[in-house]
Amino acid sequence: MEPAVAMIVPLVLALCTAMAGAAVVEHTFNVGAMNISQLCTKSVIYTANKQLPGPTIEANEGDTVVVHVVNESPYSLSVHWHGIFQLLNGWADGAYLITDCSIQPSGNFTYHFNITGQEGTLWWHAHSSLLRATIHGALIIKPRNGTAGYPFTVPYGEIPIVLGEWWNKNVYDVEIDAHLTGLGPTISDALTINGKPGDQTPCKGAGVYEMEVASNKTYLLRIINAAVNVELFFKLAGHKFTVVAVDASYTDPYATDIIVISPGQTVDALTTTSAPPGLYYMAAKVFDSKTVSIPFNTGTATGIVRYTKAPNNTVASMPAMPAHNDIVTAGTFYRSLTGLARPGDPAVPTTVNHSLVVEFGLDQEPCAPDQTKCKNFALVASMNGYSFQFPKNVCLLKALYDGLPTVYSEDFPMSPPPVPVIRKATSVMKVMYNEVVEVVLQSRAYRNNLGTESHPIHLHGFNFFVLAQGLGRFDPRARGVFNLVNPQVRNTVAVPGGGWAVIRFTANNPGMWFMHCHLDAHLPLGLGMVFDVLDGPAPNLLPPPPVGYPKCY
Ligand code: C2O
């Protein structure tokens, strides 16, 4: 770790904030090459400030965050602040070709945003190609008045646990190959905990993340699934968890010995160190929801929790992990969480203006001429029959702002087509300011026996209420069991394979907001759509682009 000068500044500022009002938290991310020896292999990866995971941003609710991103890599990239609302500030969302045209090599851009109305754990990541495998980090939001504002006992310590996925190969090349074969990226070489694979891989001497704890204290683990393509089970031997927040929204305390987390999601969990002093493994392994057998990473990432008073030569104990396909454990965790509805928190809107059914899945299509390694078929994904195409050389937000008529169409359908068709198009759905949108997210079986799997659907620009979720086809009678009182509030929901989830949100933020599967494998295949939320009455208008905004044309 090289604490750059820029990192000292936010620390000082953050300290002041705890006492005074809103502060400015400032960072510089130099994104460039880093040599690393991982899994007994020497690689060059691209990271922010030569750290994996990248620097943690710590702020208080109400603060302004300023991040100078200096692109010293050979790739153009944008950085997305996953889960941050970007209220009237869509230009800073960092979604490549949706809200900006990416920072070119040798270029730089300063992202500027406020954090309002959210507390807990979020994260940031590159939002262009597989680069986010190594360009990501935690974004921690404390209450305005500091830890005293927690709706739970102030923990003795707080530790970010960033779960990741590692490829020995350059991930940019993995992505290119994914397109050439038409089958998506190869499986990763390891899972990681805070950048380290742990000691259960074939490489002896691989890095192990260790955290030291005192006995009989409560710690807050801020768990982030930064893995590119896999949902994960996470456990800590000899310890239990109480979940207190997900996706920077507080939950009712939920006691569990296992965390299930999909890419894009975060889970804040308390754990008390009341076990006999010793060494305990934390472990992460893939929850594989696929109904047909396709190879996946069967490894286990491990880290070690070391009690300060652990006797010498203690052997760490391993948690008993569920089977990879333990859909029951996953479903129970995902469904059991409820939101901590506090006075003043936004209530579930009861009138719905747009009621959509968005059905999505994968299909096969003939290999395209440029897919030179494609054998029998290529994969394609769609939502309501539209396979999302990124615009070329222009982003949607700028096109909207400049009134360019031909960049996208506004015909994204309210429901799936009656007969299966797939159209490749850049199609958005128009929503008026402050309208309430309800979406039945329906995962369908893949055609041609491709099976089905769970998809983490992420919405930019908003949190949503998860009113219900279930297996099979959504039955309108399920409306009777919608939780309108204390549903969980998220920005990413793992829609069960072949199942459904119903989300509801108020479109109180003008801009172009991407809703997509957070398995990066599915993004270039077209598993996404965009909400075009129109300006409201003044002052609820999208402002002009900020200074230095990465140019599209
Ligand atoms: Cu964390 Cu569009 O992504």
* Helix or strand holding residue 170 (H, E): none
Same domain, 190 and 291: yes
Looking at the structure of the chain, the number of domains it has is 3
The alpha carbon of 263 and the centre of ligand 1 are apart by a number of angstroms equal to 9
Within a domain: 506: yes
Same domain, 272 and 245: yes
- At residue 478, the pLDDT reads 95
For 476, residues 6+ apart whose C-beta sits below 8 A from its C-beta are none
Per residue in 186-219, pLDDT tens?
Answer: 999 999 999 999 999 999 888 999 999 999 999 9
Q: Which atom of ligand 1 is nearest to the CA of 83?
A: 1
Within a domain: 545: no
Do 108 and 69 contact (CB within 8 A), yes or no?
yes
CB 80 less than 6 A from any atom of ligand 1: yes
- At residue 20, the pLDDT reads 53
Token reading at 279: 């060494």
Same domain, 456 and 400: yes
CB 458 less than 6 A from any atom of ligand 1: yes
419-422 contacts: CB < 8 A, separation 24 or more? 420/363, 420/385, 420/447, 421/385, 422/363, 422/365, 422/380, 422/382, 422/385, 422/386, 422/387
315: domain CATH number? 2.60.40.420
Rounded to whole angstroms, how far apart are CA atoms 269 and 255? Answer: 9
Beta-strand runs (E) in 148-248 = 157-166, 190-193, 209-213, 218-225, 231-236, 241-246
Phi/psi at 289 (nearest 5 deg)?
-95, 0
Same domain, 225 and 324: yes
Within a domain: 385: yes
The alpha carbon of 326 and the centre of ligand 1 are apart by a number of angstroms equal to 26
Q: Chain-wide mean pLDDT for the chain?
A: 94
Q: Which of 548, 472, 475, 552 is nearest to 512 (CA)?
A: 552
Rounded to whole angstroms, how far apart are CA atoms 466 and 456? Answer: 13
Within a domain: 539: no
Render the burial of 246-283: b for 16+ CB within 10 Å, e for the rest: bbbbbbeebebebbbbbbbbbbbbbbbbebebbbbbbb
Within a domain: 515: yes
Per residue in 380-392, pLDDT tens?
Answer: 999 999 999 999 9
Rounded to whole angstroms, how far apart are CA atoms 471 and 498? Answer: 7
Q: Is the peptide bond before 496 cis (omega within 30 degrees of 0)?
A: no
CB 239 less than 6 A from any atom of ligand 1: no
Do 367 and 380 contact (CB within 8 A), yes or no?
no
The alpha carbon of 94 and the centre of ligand 1 are apart by a number of angstroms equal to 9
Same domain, 394 and 472: yes
Final residue of a structural domain among 128, 149, 170: 149
Final residue of a structural domain among 149, 180, 210: 149
Rounded to whole angstroms, how far apart are CA atoms 260 and 141? Answer: 22
Rounded to whole angstroms, how far apart are CA atoms 434 and 451? Answer: 38
Provide the H-helix boundaries in 362-444.
396-402
Same domain, 132 and 177: no
Same domain, 180 and 134: no
Same domain, 141 and 161: no
User: Strand, coil or helix: what is 331?
Assistant: helix
Within a domain: 546: no
CB 142 less than 6 A from any atom of ligand 1: no
Same domain, 216 and 174: yes
Q: Which domain covers residue 511, as residue numbers?
A: 354-533
Residue written as tokens 């990501």? 136
The alpha carbon of 522 and the centre of ligand 1 are apart by a number of angstroms equal to 12
Atom 1 in ligand 1: which residue has the minimum CA distance?
A: 82
Same domain, 145 and 161: no
Do 31 and 73 contact (CB within 8 A), yes or no?
yes
Final residue of a structural domain among 149, 183, 209: 149
Within a domain: 538: no
Within a domain: 456: yes
Q: Which residues of the chain have pLDDT under 50?
A: 1-19
Same domain, 23 and 115: yes
Atom 3 in ligand 1: which residue has the minimum CA distance?
A: 82
Same domain, 316 and 371: no
Token reading at 34: 């880093």
